[in-house]
Structure 1
């Protein structure tokens, strides 16, 4: 099963002295002190963020340019609602071998720290892309995340911690999509059976507490009973195509599983992918239904 881990380094919060505050009220660049027992993590942040259903959102991984006014407005608005904002940083397969080099890891960590300080972020989301096939690579990634933790903790004098301590990561986001890639035939992007078995793999093989895991599903009709995902067929230029997708019904099955499994939260990739500009009532209802489903289950966690 192909899973991408997003290790979210929460609690790495920066005081206003560390960066230039883009908000009209400088207090909005102070750390978000509110703590949440369960999370709704939103990946997104282009202009459509103003149309999101903000009910229940606790953490945003900004998928926008933090130097642009729109993204800065998102940051300020989120902080006004006591919602933390992080940025996504990736560890790509082509860089895996470099992780054995101490100097390389140090440079990566310094770049992450500079970004956190410059933009007064609440943390970073470390996106581990691709499969980890060797102990050497696994050790390199482990060292990188640990060293990032140590480096962030070393900045204690510049932080305002609101009485709680840094941890290496607060929880991991299991990216439960793109499970079937590079295949000659179309299949479900996020089949329920493999989502469930992948989660159980983490619990049993790595002795993880379910409350340290969150599930991110795709937002991107004929249904498949096994995969519990919808699909449809079409004929284009005399060629038949099969397209798979997720909708409220298929996503609700996975949200329910997350609740019953005691997961820490929910998320999606990504909020930008819904239609916020249409005037078609049917499409507008679909957009509302997508948000209503995930927020409703977040409050059941």
Structure 2
């Protein structure tokens, strides 16, 4: 065995025994946590794979990693001055116990350190009754997580994902005001807004403009600092099978109840922007625009003759929302999720992808 190999193995053994973490980046300084806070956040969720190589890194400030840990992504993001943060999810019934809560936070901090990460995104979307033990445990979890991360990883970022409205959407009755005060930012999930359809069971926009913006007004009425709010927009849509398509273009959908509502967007299937763009040209309608909801949609017929209606967001509908971000002085914008554009490099796809990224900064 060569002397260099023996030396390397000895070093690896010593590092393993001592519990130190070896920087996986070509340049060791890229393993240093990002501490600089940008005035405007472009916060994205990466769910795995290698599409991150094609993101518009001139915009990106934070990447929440919801896929398998990718050291190359961490190194590259740091080279661009962007944070990379963990996903944090835990059953609230578990963290009602203080010891369990502390242990969970400690585990996440240690994981962040070992992977050279810059914080954590708390994605806890569980239904909670106001005043319940879980309600208080969630509030305490956010506060304690933030305090621990800030202490153990100076300059780290702790974010919390909230529903599109603060009014108990999907049973998420949280202490939004205290949570907002405790963490660095709230990522507002301004999508899946048809999860509880109380009116007619019909296909509608994933994130209608007025409904979306009115919900931000409600957050601001709670005196939540606008600099804590990041607007999340959908880079996907919903494909509904129409039980009936009226002459006015209204698509009746199956009744799929959800958390007390008789109908839900669960009657449809989520489709990526990449898929939708390929479907537009072959659809029976072409791109249509609903001026009331300010969203695009298409109608198409499947292989067995059923009519579908697909509602989605594109640069026009997104720009109307992100313009609000600027006018109201919100912290920034983001999307679910960054992987699902067409990064193939084909000419039309490239243009579509560039326009979707650019729409994040308004029009």
Pairwise TM-score range, normalised by the shorter structure = 0.7 to 0.9
Aligned residue in 1 for 2:278: none
1:149 to 146, 151, 155: 146
RMSD over aligned Cα atoms: 2.2
Aligned residue in 1 for 2:186: 172
Q: Distance in 2 between matches of 1:172 and 1:35?
A: 15
Q: Distance in 2 between matches of 1:161 and 1:223?
A: 44
| Within-5 A mapping of 1:25-104 | 25-44=27-46, 45-66=48-69, 71-91=70-90, 95-104=91-100
| Within-5 A mapping of 1:1-301 | 19-44=21-46, 45-66=48-69, 71-91=70-90, 95-136=91-132, 137-155=134-152, 159=153, 168-181=182-195, 183=197, 184-205=201-222, 207-220=223-236, 221-236=287-302, 237-277=304-344, 279=346, 281-294=347-360, 296-297=361-362
Q: Distance in 2 between matches of 1:229 and 1:53?
A: 24
TM-score by length of 2: 0.68
Structure 1 residue 223: deviation in Å?
1.6
TM-score by length of 1: 0.81
Q: Distance in 1 between matches of 2:336 and 2:154?
A: 31
Partner-residue secondary structure (3-state), 1:135: coil
Tell which deviates more after alignment, 253-262 or 96-105.
96-105
User: Considering only CA atoms, is the larger Rg found in Structure 1 or Structure 2?
Assistant: 2
Structure 1 residue 83: deviation in Å?
1.2
Q: Deviations over 1:250-294 (max 9, x none)?
A: 001011111111101011111100011152x22221111111222
Distance of aligned partners of 1:191 and 1:160 in 2 relative to their CA distance in 1, 3 Å threshold: closer
Structure 1 residue 127: deviation in Å?
1.1
Structure 1 residue 108: deviation in Å?
1.9
Aligned length: 265
CA contact (8 A) 1:18 1:120 kept: no
Tell which deviates more after alignment, 284-293 or 100-109.
100-109
Partner-residue secondary structure (3-state), 2:203: coil
Structure 1 residue 192: deviation in Å?
1.0
Distance of aligned partners of 1:127 and 1:65 in 2 relative to their CA distance in 1, 3 Å threshold: same
Partner-residue secondary structure (3-state), 1:263: coil
Which consecutive unaligned segments of at least 5 residues does structure 2 have?
1-18, 157-180, 237-286
Which consecutive unaligned segments of at least 5 residues does structure 1 have?
1-16
Q: Distance in 1 between matches of 2:323 and 2:155?
A: 34
Tell which deviates more after alignment, 130-139 or 283-292.
130-139
CA contact (8 A) 1:203 1:209 kept: yes
CA contact (8 A) 1:20 1:119 kept: no
Structure 1 residue 90: deviation in Å?
2.1
Distance of aligned partners of 1:18 and 1:192 in 2 relative to their CA distance in 1, 3 Å threshold: farther
